[in-house]
Amino acid sequence: MVYDPFKHASSDRTLSAPPSAFDYMKDKVFRSFAYCCALAIILLVTYIVFELGSQALPAIKTYGLGFVTGTTWDANQREFGVLPEIWGTLYSSLIALAIGGVLGVGIAIFLTQSFVHAKLELVFRTIIELLAAIPSVVYGLWGIYVLIPLLRPVAQWFYETLGWFPFFGTELSGPGLAPASLVLAIMILPTVAAISADAFQRIPYKVKEAAYGMGATKWEVILKVMLPTASSGILAGLVLGFGRALGETMALAMLIGNVNNISLSLFAPANTLASLLASTFPEAGEIEVQALMYAALVLLAITFIVNIAGLAVQQYAMRKFEGKK
Amino acid sequence: MTSLSDTGEFIAKKYEPKGPVVLDCQINNIYYGNFRAVRDSHVPIEKNKVTGFIGPSGCGKSTVLRSMNRMNDLIESFRFDGSIQYHSNDIYGKKVDPVVVRRYIGMVFQLPNPFSMSIYDNVAFGLRLNGFKGDEEEMVVQALKRAAIWDDVKDKLKNSGLSLSGGQQQRLCIARAIATEPDVLLMDEPCSALDPIATRQVEELMVELKEHYSVALVTHNMQQATRVADVTAFLGVDISQGGRTGYLVEMDDTQKIFEDPQQLLTQQYVRGEFS
Amino acid sequence: MSEITQQLPPVVEFPSLEKDSFDIRAIKNSTLTLMVWGIAIMASIPLFSVIFMLISEGGSRIDIEALTEIPPAGFETGGGFGNAIIGTFVMVGIASLISIPFGIMAALHLAILDPNSKLTTISRFLAKVLTGFPSILAGVFVYAVIVITTGTYSAWAGGVALAVLMLPTVTLAAEEAMRQVPQRMKDAAYGMGCTRTQVIMQVVLPTGLPGILTGVILAVAGAAGESAPLLFTALFSNYYMAELAEPTASLSILIYNFSGMPFDNQIELAWAASLVLVVLVLFFNILARVVGRSKFKE
């Protein structure tokens, strides 16, 4: 029974009554369930890591660290190495980060430093958010039928005039690093823009006021005061955008060419860990699946490190503005 | 007058209540973690009277008030040492659930805090919570009338409680608190966010409410205490031990506190020499 | 007259306060302004290009046949992706049924019930890490756990893979929305003697509902557009689904499969399916905005 020593003692008028035993039971059940759900997230992540690890274990035992440095992927010869994929993953993501980063930060400045009327600002903000909403496969399709035909003459020109330069060392025959990285850049741009814009908005107005008060022009304020102040937030946006690029799958599987190849050339086909999984997994036999699980684990490790770095920087940036130590 | 140079051991003279006591608070210590917020204060809350709490900021008067319905239990580091007798039952008793305590001892907060639901639902909230079986509408209307807000809202009971002005919101919150007819009403600076006119209305309301309820009122406005409170407790701050620990300096009839205080500190405070 | 009075006052050169458009600072200023304008416009081009292509290529192919028929084989003409639309809805539905209740309950624990405990800190951190997970890993994980165990690709597996992706998004968004509920409203409810569950059910959830819904709908939109986790969990099927325990078609996988085919008919269908998918995703996005706007007044 519910313990209520007050009912009889208090005035007759009072309508107060203790929660019923049923209320108490509901409270207990509800809270335990919520606790379990919070716990479930931890268990889920642990289980994912554990499951991938144990599935990959046979391949880890067989190939060891040679898997990470090997350059061939041949299921018939049972020879598996993912160095080209690691290279392709990092290279394409870095190019995407360079392009998407500059554009993203530029847009964050454009959206937060009152360049346009608030209504137009909202229009551009919406455009950027919609850019993030478009599914990856649709970008892939767009890349195949719009971007690649558009890039081909440009790539040809670069190859013919600057072919001695390693970045332009091959022709763009179709899919390749350049279209893949460009689409990747478009896809991470909203992430970078959103987190950077947030960092700019966190800067107290008085900081800007102080700079204007000293006679700085708008861009002097932006470049010398706002940008450095927001730098840690922007860095977090860049790192998280990079993490997103590393794991992006479909658009890359459709655009990068899926060729085991380590090349500096922007126009050469390549492969990434995620698109290796996407293109090989459905038809893989048992041994190859084990190797693919190992590849998934490598991808997991890379994104895990990058994401944690990003979150740590973000945490640091937020603390800086909130004045916590 | 007693010297207050060494407040470390000072314990206020016991206030002898003249009528029946509804809530007998014997506070030895209140801690937040290692911080000692309040010490050695005995404040009986009398039936059908308004008991005012005044004192400089940081003296722990809100902490004392929030201890009376165990609101402070929501703060993890909170520790209470003492007893609060409510009809000869200790509300800090081992078997007592704070949730039950709060059902009998109502509270009105510093900032008006209606729920984002209709005016009617705001007032009916407590009735439904306590499983009231009678005529709900009648009780809601009665509470709104008693809180002197019926005329303002009778045509818009379905509107959101948040659509009202600050003063109206606070009276709505009072209506919500008294709808279940709690024995005691705790009011934590209920007028601090209100304009002078709204403040006046709420003050008049408090005087009327004491016919039915026993009211404990924290205020930082001494005039308000003189206008409303029958009995006033003055809490001071003791900084002798490093922290800022609040303690009861003097408690007596309001008139006595303001016109003939027994403690130098009280005298200085009511004269406005510090705040 | 004395010499002192004869002296002229010293000449002081005041800087001109007029605007000089050819001043180096002014030029730098306008160049940079022009640049961010260029960036903003450049970033908008892909969106408009995608939308243009969807309407011109996909729009012309959308008709009742495309929306209801099953996918064509090789050289066949006509056909459609009705089964893929159903499959997408079913799998997103399964994912929602799993992840939304779980996510909201977890969010309640993180935001209200025990916001500062160790479990909460770890759980919140891992949820953030999980949002950064490559979506294909959810597919790999579910393949290992469900597809291998049950021995078949299925709508179940696809739904669970999507749920793994939705769970952290729902949790974090719902937590954020619940934190927006003002403390003083919660205080009022506690002050009236509500149990914690009553505070949540009667105050926190109703008040935070618009924000929670926004987060949930955005997560649903994201799941609808996902394809990587479905690749080898739900696989694909050329027929309407008969049960949940068989390979199931989805719009995104259909687009992926058809995009690389050398047949115009299939490519047209891929564009048409993309149009349907984008309209679906944008619908959810707009819905989320509309719902989010009805936030409670402070």
Q: Using one digit for the tens of pLDDT, what is the confidence trace for A25-82?
A: 999 999 999 999 999 999 999 999 999 999 999 999 999 899 999 998 988 888 899 9
| Mean pLDDT value of segment C269-296 | 88
Q: Does residue C139 fall inside a structural domain?
A: yes
Collect all residues of chain B within an 8 Å Cβ-Cβ radius of residue A12: none
pLDDT digits (tens, 9 = 90+) for A231-263: 888 998 999 899 999 999 999 999 999 888 888
Tell me the average pLDDT across A288-301: 94
Contact C206 B116 (CB under 8 A): yes
From the CA of A99, how many Å to the nearest CA of chain C?
11
Residue B95 has pLDDT above 90, yes or no: no
Query: Is the predicted pLDDT of residue B1 greater than 80, yes or no?
Result: no
CB-based contact, B195 to chain A, within 8 Å: no
- Structural domain boundaries of chain B? 12-270
Cα dihedral sign, A40-A46-A49-A52:
negative
Whether the per-residue pLDDT at A143 is higher than 90: the answer is: yes
Predicted confidence band at C298 (pLDDT cuts at 50, 70, 90)? very low
Q: State residue C297's pLDDT score.
A: 44
- Residue in C closest to A283 by C-alpha: C232
**Residues 176 through 235 of chain A touching chain C, CB cutoff 8 Å:** 186, 189, 193, 217-220, 222-223
Subunits in contact with chain B (3 or more CB pairs closer than 8 Å): A, C
Give the best residue of A4, A8, A12, A16 to mutate against chain B (max B CB count within 10 A): A16
pLDDT category at C1 given cuts 50, 70, 90 is: very low
In a domain, C23, yes or no: no
Alpha helices (runs of H) in chain B, residue ranges in sequence order: 61-67, 98-104, 119-129, 136-146, 150-153, 166-178, 196-209, 222-228, 254-259, 264-270
Residue C55 lies in a domain: no
pLDDT at C110: 96
Q: Is residue C13 part of a domain?
A: no
Tell me whether residue C173 is in a domain.
Answer: yes
pLDDT at res. B4:
44
Which chain C residue's Cα is nearest to B100?
A: C193
Residue C200 lies in a domain: yes
Q: What is the pLDDT of residues A208-239, one digit of tens each?
A: 888 888 888 888 889 988 998 898 889 989 99
pLDDT of residue A77: 87
> C175 falls in which pLDDT band (50, 70, 90)?
very high
Interface contact B139, partner A, CB < 8 A: yes
Tell me which amino acid residue B273 is.
E
For C184, name the nearest residue in chain B, comparing CA atoms only: B113
Q: Which fold has domain B12-270?
A: Rossmann fold (3.40.50)
| Cross-chain residue pair C182–B113, CB shorter than 8 Å | yes
> Does the residue C244 lie in any domain?
yes
Angle between helix A21-63 and C155-179 (nearest 10): 120
Q: Which domain holds residue C199?
A: 83-293
Say yes or no for a CB contact (<8 Å) between B115 and C182: no
Strand B50-54 and strand B214-218: the pairing is: parallel
What's the whole-number average pLDDT of chain A? Answer: 89
Q: What is the mean pLDDT of residues B80-106?
A: 89
DSSP A280: H
* Percent share of chain B, pLDDT over 90: 41
CATH number of the domain that residue C140 is part of: 1.10.3720.10
Task: Please report how many Cα atoms fall inside a 13 Å half-sphere around the Cα of residue A42, on the Cβ side.
Answer: 14
**Which candidate, A298, A191, A198, A165, places its Cα nearest to that of A244?**
A191
With H, G, I as helix, E, B as strand and everything else as coil, classify residue A266.
Answer: coil
Question: What global pTM score does this model have?
Answer: 0.89
Higher pLDDT, A254 or B4: A254
What letter represents residue B130's amino acid?
N
What is the total count of domains within chain C?
1
Closest CA to C91 of C226, C274, C278: C226
